[in-house]
Amino acid sequence: MKQFLENLPKAELHLHIEGSLEPELMFEIGQRNGVKLPFASVEDVRAAYQFHNLQEFLDIYYQGANVLLYERDFYDMTMAYLRRCQQQNVIHAEIFFDPQTHTDRGVDIGVVINGICGALKDAENEWGMSSRLILCFLRHLSGEAAMETLLQALPYRDRIIGVGLDSSEVGHPPEKFKAAFDRAREEGFLTVAHAGEEGPPEYIWQALDLLKVSRIDHGVRCIEDNALVDRLIAEKMPLTVCPLSNIKLCVFEKMADHNLLQLLDRGVKVTVNSDDPAYFGGYMNENFLALHAALDLTQEQAASLVRNSFEASFVSESERAGFMNRLDAFLVANQ
């Protein structure tokens, strides 16, 4: 089963590129740029990765991002993640980035986008890695700040497939960002939003009705509202679920309590993703292996989860068919 899960071709739809910054690279870039970190060593950084909630994680996450100043920094961070994808048979990735984390420090949005996109292009040229880029608004900031960020990004719209919503969920409902999302859709962007991770099911309703999202990021608290679950099933609305993240941030106490397979069995279009893998203890394969260890994930369930992620990807029908063919060929070869 381990070999099956590791070799399974996958898509990742919920990955914060700043959350893939491993401590070793964080220190290397910090040293290169003369940015002092509030940690003495790589070991100290890892020791700090004990979180009781989303906010405790975000405090450290933003500290780590302070080392990122130049195109090369964003390129190196992104390429390190893409190499992990290659090693773990992730053939398509849809990557979130948080421009406000950088522009609020005086880094130009073009520096961020050019650095990330340079790595995406090189990975595509070198080993055929497929990818898309999604700009996320920080929800602890204002709706006006989100709109301003959207306007800054418009000159780069050809490189960005959609917009999303992340950061501190509780107390920052999706409705706060309706105007920015309306404008984003007018400009041709697809929309996604974090909802129902720490926030209530009501936030998922708002993301669907007010932000008109194509996917819900996390969404695990939907299970508290049967009418919502029924709607998600009826609309085939994908949930980009992040198992190891949910445990690390105490959304569930332990993996055996996770509701991902329960939702899958009910007919919800759930997918598996790694969220902020440098902070949460694992990339895609580690998430699948954790589900197998704690919930006895079967090959059939794993294939369904991967199929869901290909179906939910923001790609053309011909690209999607190519992904499905690779999956089917793998399953036939591993019967």
CA quadruple 12, 260, 219, 217: dihedral, nearest 10: 0
Query: Which residues neighbour 330 within 8 Å (Cβ) at sequence distance 6 or greater?
Result: 7, 8, 9
Of the candidates 166, 229, 163, the one whose C-alpha atom is nearest the C-alpha of residue 194 is: 166
CA dist., res. 252 & res. 218, Å (int): 12
Q: Distance from first CA to last CA of the chain, Å, rounded? A: 12
What lies within 8 Å, CB to CB, of 323 at 6+ separation is 9, 11, 91, 92, 310, 313, 315
Distance CA 296, CA 304 (A): 15
Fill in the DSSP letter of residue 275: B
> For residue 211, which of 225, 190, 197, 231 has the smallest C-alpha distance?
190
Give the residue from 196, 91, 191, 199 showing the smallest Cα distance to 150: 191
Q: Which residues have C-beta within 8 Å of that of residue 183, sequence separation ≥ 6?
A: 147, 150
Residue 77 neighbours by CB under 8 Å, 6+ apart: 17, 18, 20, 21, 25, 29, 68, 115
Of the residues 197, 198, 300, 317, which is catalytic? 197
The answer to whether 310 and 92 have CB atoms below 8 angstroms apart is yes
Place of tokens 């910090």: 30
Which residues have CB under 8 Å from 228's CB, separation 6+?
A: 201, 204, 205, 222
Comparing C-alpha atoms, which of 291, 333, 330, 277 is closest to residue 307?
330
Concerning whether 319 is annotated as a catalytic residue, the answer is: no
Question: Which residues carry out catalysis?
Answer: 197
